[in-house]
Amino acid sequence: MKISVKVPATTANIGPGFDCMGMALPIYNTITIEETVLPGTGVEINVIADSDTIDQLSLDHVPCDENSIVYKAVELLYNSIGQTPSELRINIHSNIPVARGLGSSSSVIVGALIAANELLGRPADEVALLSIACEIEGHPDNITPAIVGGLVISSQEEDGRVVYRKLKWPDNWAVTVCVPDFELSTDIARSVLPTEVPIKDAVFNAQRLAMFVEAIHTEDAELMKLALKDKLHQPYRMKLVPGLDKIIANLRHFDNVLGCVLSGAGSSILVISEKNDLEKVRNVVRDTWADQNIKCVIKTLSVENNGAQIISNED
């Protein structure tokens, strides 16, 4: 039996929503799990670059043994029903850039879980899949939109259960994803964060997150310009993304730009804007990074409202 699952990229935080807000984007990894017939072969993991924008060297550093998050996801699911994974071939066809803040790790965790769950006869429901995925990833901001799609606010409760709600992204707001030619691992991006923050910064983010939700519901562009601010992670990570401060400063001159934020932990950035003068916005980012000798790929994308989907099921 062979199962293939297509999983969207995700962007997390989106300004004030640190570790609790994420959005699915129409870039996809495909994870295929196949039961092999040779006993004793164990679990085989292969990672294949499916896009010219994927650096094969970065994929070469992805663990393909029992240290892989893919293996851990499958193992946790099997263990939850008293079994151990064996004789499986897992192929990851990669289109989501690695270590760029676009949820590549979440996508393979989710894809492997859903494919393995299908192989096992669907013993886990959505609640269980979210819980297992978050146990591996550590927080629900990327995992949840990868599974359910759309723009999502979420939290993981003390019992491991993930609570989420989807919000409708305004149709007249554009999301421009800017992917530089350098990686930034989540571990490094987390290491620069303080263990404690001033209460005024926590209050600031609570205010902005409330503004964000209201701005989404009312499509209030001026409120969103205030909402896309953060004091919990972006100020500390700014130095890890060369040129980001200059990009933000240069985009302030555009009335249609609502904000510029890190995508997840970076290195990619998101420019949220109204759907006019998009080429000018892209040129500002491209030219500013070019001054730093940084090449980039820039795409204006719609929000992917569908989460992970089974695209092939072969007996």
Q: How many residues does the chain have?
A: 315
Residue 269 and residue 254 in one domain: yes
> Is the same domain home to 120 and 183?
no
Q: Strand pairing partners for 179?
A: 297
Whole-angstrom distance, CA of residue 207 vs CA of residue 212: 9
- Note the pLDDT tens digit of each residue in 209-262: 999 999 999 999 999 999 999 999 999 999 999 999 999 999 998 999 999 999
Question: Do 50 and 195 have their domain in common?
Answer: no
pLDDT at 262: 96
CA separation for the pair 146, 141 (Å, rounded): 9
Please compute the mean of the pLDDT values over residues 176-182 and round it to a whole number. 95
61-74 per-position pLDDT tens digit: 455 666 788 889 99
For residues 187-215, average pLDDT: 96
**Mean pLDDT along residues 266-282:** 93
Do 194 and 209 lie in a common domain?
yes
Extract the tokens encoding 249.
Answer: 């400063």
Q: Are residues 294 and 224 in the same domain?
A: yes
Within 8 A by CB and 6+ apart from 290, the residues are none
- pLDDT tens digits for 85-100? 878 889 999 899 988 9
Residues 113 and 178 in one domain: no
Q: Which of 9-18, 35-44, 64-73, 276-285 has the highest mean pLDDT?
A: 9-18
Q: Give CA–CA dist 58/13, Å, rounded.
A: 24
Could you list the residue range(s) of the whole structural domain that residue 60 is in?
Answer: 2-167+303-314
Verify that 265 and 293 share a domain, yes or no.
yes
Whichever domain contains 159, its CATH number is 3.30.230.10
- For range 9-27, the mean pLDDT: 97
CA–CA separation, 9 and 304 (whole Å): 9
Query: Distance between CA atoms of 105 and 12, rounded to whole angstroms?
Result: 13
The partner residues of 91 in beta bridges, in order of sequence, read 32, 46
CATH code, domain carrying 185: 3.30.70.890
pLDDT band at 40 (very low <50, low <70, confident <90, very high): low
Q: What pLDDT score was predicted for residue 57?
A: 47
Say yes or no: 185 and 152 in one domain. Answer: no
pLDDT score, position 279: 93
Q: 156 with 182, same domain? A: no
Predicted pLDDT of residue 63: 59
Note whether 151 and 17 are same-domain residues. yes
What is the per-residue pLDDT for 69? 87
Q: How far is CA 135 from CA 64, 72, 108, 157, in A?
A: 20, 10, 14, 12
Q: Are residues 41 and 134 in the same domain?
A: yes
The pLDDT of residue 54 is above 80: no
Peptide bond into 131 cis (omega under 30): no
Number of domains in the chain: 2
Indicate the average pLDDT of the chain.
91
Q: Which of 272, 161, 179 is nearest to 226 (CA)?
A: 272
Q: In the prediction, which pLDDT does 1 show?
A: 85
Higher-pLDDT residue of 85 and 175 is 175
**Are 179 and 222 in a shared domain?**
yes
**pLDDT exceeds cutoff 90 at 43:** no
